Amino acid sequence: MEVFETIIKRQSVRMYDKKDVPNELIGQMIEAAVHAPSAGNIQPWEFIVVKEKNTKKELALAALKQRHVEEAPVVIVVCANLEKSVDKYGERGKTLYCIQDTAAAIENMLLVATSLGLGACWVGAFEENKVKPILNIPEKLRPVALVTVGFPVSYMKPTRNLRKPFENITHPEKYSSEIVFQWMEKETDEWRFKIRPLEEHIKKLKEKITERKK
Ligand SMILES: Cc1cc2nc3c(=O)[nH]c(=O)nc-3n(C[C@H](O)[C@H](O)[C@H](O)COP(=O)(O)O)c2cc1C
């Protein structure tokens, strides 16, 4: 899959088939995660792979009872090792870099999950103090996200969540409330603001890429 196609195709999947996810695929997601950039190449991430039913149930309770946390065949808990970042970068390492590093790792995981035909969701709404004892997470680690993973149910037709047009949020040279910037040909509002089947978006993207290659 082309990287741009995978980026567009990725979306939060919250309904999963009951079948198990082979460990090999989970391994590939984690392999992708560790190739993310990290401040000073500290690589502060650690991963806890949860498949056990009761543990997932407890995690769901700690995550505002989000059902997909309990129902996903696998939950990968991505943690940031604060100790490593604080040693090298002090407060900025602890409160910013290690969170950014793990976030980049999580996005890599989501993209590879998409390219492997898996569905995944980044879950950030959970009580850290409840999650930590469930998984024996030591003080120095901060759980940053629960990533739910499974094969998507076949009856869900994927649609694209709306995105802000990038020219409305990109500023040339300096911040300005007036945006007059255009990098790519502008989509018509009609196209942008309608929820369409994902295949239509991918088809359109491919047409654009082919046009550019001419
Ligand atoms: C930091 C963060 C926290 C999130 N927390 C949750 C969550 O607790 N539960 C959930 O179902 N989705 C969660 N999401 C997923 C977002 O709802 C989702 O990415 C967003 O609506 C855009 O949809 P898309 O991922 O399908 O493109 C979270 C995403 C991020 C980046």
Most confident segment among 1-15, 21-35, 172-186, 189-203: 21-35
Q: What average pLDDT does the segment 177-184 reach?
A: 59
Q: How far is the CA of 139 from the centre of ligand 1 (A)?
A: 26
Give residues with Cβ within 8 angstroms of 12, minimum separation 6: 120, 121, 122, 161
The more confidently predicted of residues 5 and 160 is 5
pLDDT of residue 183: 55
DSSP, collapsed to helix, strand or coil, labels residue 196 as coil
Confidence of residue 201 (pLDDT cuts 50, 70, 90): low
Q: Is the pLDDT of residue 188 over 60?
A: no
Residue bearing the bigger pLDDT, 80 or 177: 80
**Owner of token pair 């094969």:** 151
Tens of pLDDT, residue by residue over 116-150, are: 999 999 999 999 999 999 999 999 999 999 999 99
**Ligand 1 and 121: CB distance under 6 A:** yes
- Those residues whose C-beta lies under 8 Å from the C-beta of residue 62, and which sit 6 or more positions away, are 126, 127, 130, 131, 134
Q: Over 60: is that where the pLDDT of 185 sits?
A: no
Share of the chain above pLDDT 90, in %: 67
Tell me, using a 6 A CB cutoff, whether residue 55 lines ligand 1: no
Per-residue pLDDT at 1: 57
Cα–Cα distance, 83 to 105 (Å, whole number): 18
What's the pLDDT band for 66 if we cut at 50, 70, 90? very high
Per-residue confidence band for 156, with pLDDT thresholds at 50, 70 and 90:
confident
pTM: 0.88
Q: Report the C-alpha gap between 89 and 71 in whole angstroms.
A: 39
Model confidence at 190, pLDDT cuts 50, 70, 90, reads low
Probe ligand 1: pick from 102, 108, 121, max atoms within 8 Å of CB?
Answer: 121
d(CA 139, CA 150): 29
Question: Contact, 56 vs 110, CB < 8 A?
Answer: no
Atom of ligand 1 nearest to the CA of 126: 8
Least confident of 64-78, 105-119, 127-141, 177-191: 177-191
Q: What is the CA radius of gyration of the chain?
A: 19
